[in-house]
Structure 1
Amino acid sequence: MRPGYDPQGEPLLDSPALTLFNGLLGEPTATRLLTQLDQALAWQRPTLRLYGREHPIPRRQLWMGDPDARYRYSGRDFLPEPWHPAVSTIRAAVNRRLADAGLSARFNSVLLNRYADGEERMGWHSDDEPELGPDPLIAAVSLGAERPLRFRWKDRSAEAFNVWLPHDSLLVMGAGVQDRLQHALQPRRLPGMRISLTFRLVNPGSPVA
């Protein structure tokens, strides 16, 4: 077992289940894959309609997965790009880490987001679209610059909190997280590019209309 390998992870919350794993890929693999994703993927900046106007998203992204893993987000339908070998390598590492932790999951898709610097962001949301089922498990890999993911309780029963996501880390959002919490990547004056990969299971044949 390599130094820094973290088979069980750090439990951030027990209920709902939120766990952070470090050292997912190990070096130099993590940095090599970060560079490969940055340079090899056809990053997109789609527009989303808000209050009747079209706005480009404040980051670049790419939806990837099995052919039937269609997805609807913020009023747009996304058809998946085919799996890139680098992303398949990361998915295999996620599956191994979850198995080591006694968790079972299957992922047929991934949303990749590229943040050029700390000013690029993602607003408050939950990954609770109908295509993901009633209680999805989301596995989020972070590569590149460390940034905090902000969480808040939907019922405001407790204070909001940050989870700092270092390079080569895996955040597992398990049962109940999407139902009870929202999360956001808020702008900060932090240097460096970051790529996140949020693996998920889209129910094949789910309607996108």
Structure 2
Amino acid sequence: MIDYRPVGGAMLLAEPLVVRFDALLGEPAAGRALERLDRELDWQRPRLRLYGREHPIPRRQVWMGDTEARYRYSGSDFSPETWHPEASRLRDAVIARLAAAGIRADFNSVLLNRYAGGEERMGWHGDDEPELGPDPLVAAVSLGAERPLRFRWKKRDGEAFNAWLPHDSLLLMGPGVQRRLQHALLPRRIPGLRISLTFRRIIP
């Protein structure tokens, strides 16, 4: 298993493209964004249906975006909340950082996940809902406690790997990633609050 530890920005995969950029906002802006999002959002713990049974998700979340960015996930429909100023600022910073790397992006929505500590988690999945199109570009910002996002190949034809995501980092998952890989935030004995913002474009 490959363990990509942060040493500045790094290309983790070339095909399909997975890249980590560090120091997206810089301090004190990144710390301020974490504090405001934690304090000012109406964090929710919806119940999702899995294998015929309903379960509360093991974290808290907010779905946010443009009015038309409705999303269906695990049998539930989500209507977006209005953009929070910090989330909007982060979206613009992500688009600018990607543009500087020669990557064009246009996001109209974001899923924010709040992990109170290392025991809260996200199971194996791909961001491959029909609303995202066949090969979406997905960009994830991490604020707070550093944790690894684990990847595995759907056809098990490659080695699984961890992408460690420090505070104020940006992970780009390019076209083909959601089709070919799954990812998860597995439980770890890592203390501290972490908020992730996963930007994407919903196709109405």
What band does the TM-score fall into relative to the shorter chain? over 0.9
Partner of 1:147: 147
Tell whether 2:16 aligns with 1:52: no
Partner of 1:92: 92
CA distance in 2, matches of 1:179, 1:54: 26
Partner of 2:203: 203
Partner of 1:3: none
Partner of 2:174: 174
CA distance in 2, matches of 1:17, 1:86: 27
Q: What does 1:91-110 align with in structure 2 at a 5 Å threshold?
A: 91-110=91-110
Output the amino acid matched with 2:112: L
CA distance in 1, matches of 2:190, 2:86: 26
CA distance in 1, matches of 2:160, 2:126: 14
Tell whether 2:176 aligns with 1:157: no
CA distance in 1, matches of 2:44, 2:67: 19
Q: Cα deviations across residues 27-57 of structure 1 (Å, max 9, x unaligned)?
A: 0000001000000000000001123322100
Q: Cα deviations across residues 107-138 of structure 1 (Å, max 9, x unaligned)?
A: 00000000000000000000000000010000
CA distance in 2, matches of 1:114, 1:156: 30
TM-superposed deviation, 1:175: 1.4
Q: TM-score, normalised by structure 1?
A: 0.93
Instruction: Please identify runs of 4+ aligned residues in structure 1 that moved more than 6 A.
Output: none
Partner of 1:207: none
Partner of 1:15: 15
Q: Cα deviations across residues 74-114 of structure 1 (Å, max 9, x unaligned)?
A: 11100000001111110111011001000001000000000
TM-superposed deviation, 1:10: 1.6
CA distance in 1, matches of 2:78, 2:190: 30
Output the amino acid matched with 1:148: P
Partner of 2:192: 192
Partner of 1:66: 66
RMSD in angstroms over aligned alpha carbons?
Answer: 0.8
Q: TM-score, normalised by structure 2?
A: 0.95
Output the amino acid matched with 2:36: Q
Give secondary structure in 2 for the equivalent of 1:94: helix
Q: Cα deviations across residues 163-199 of structure 1 (Å, max 9, x unaligned)?
A: 0000000000001100100000000111000000000
Output the amino acid matched with 2:115: Y
TM-superposed deviation, 1:153: 0.3
Q: Unpaired segments of 5 or more residues in structure 1?
A: 1-5, 205-209
Give secondary structure in 2 for the equivalent of 1:192: coil
TM-superposed deviation, 1:159: 1.8
Give secondary structure in 1 for the equivalent of 2:191: coil
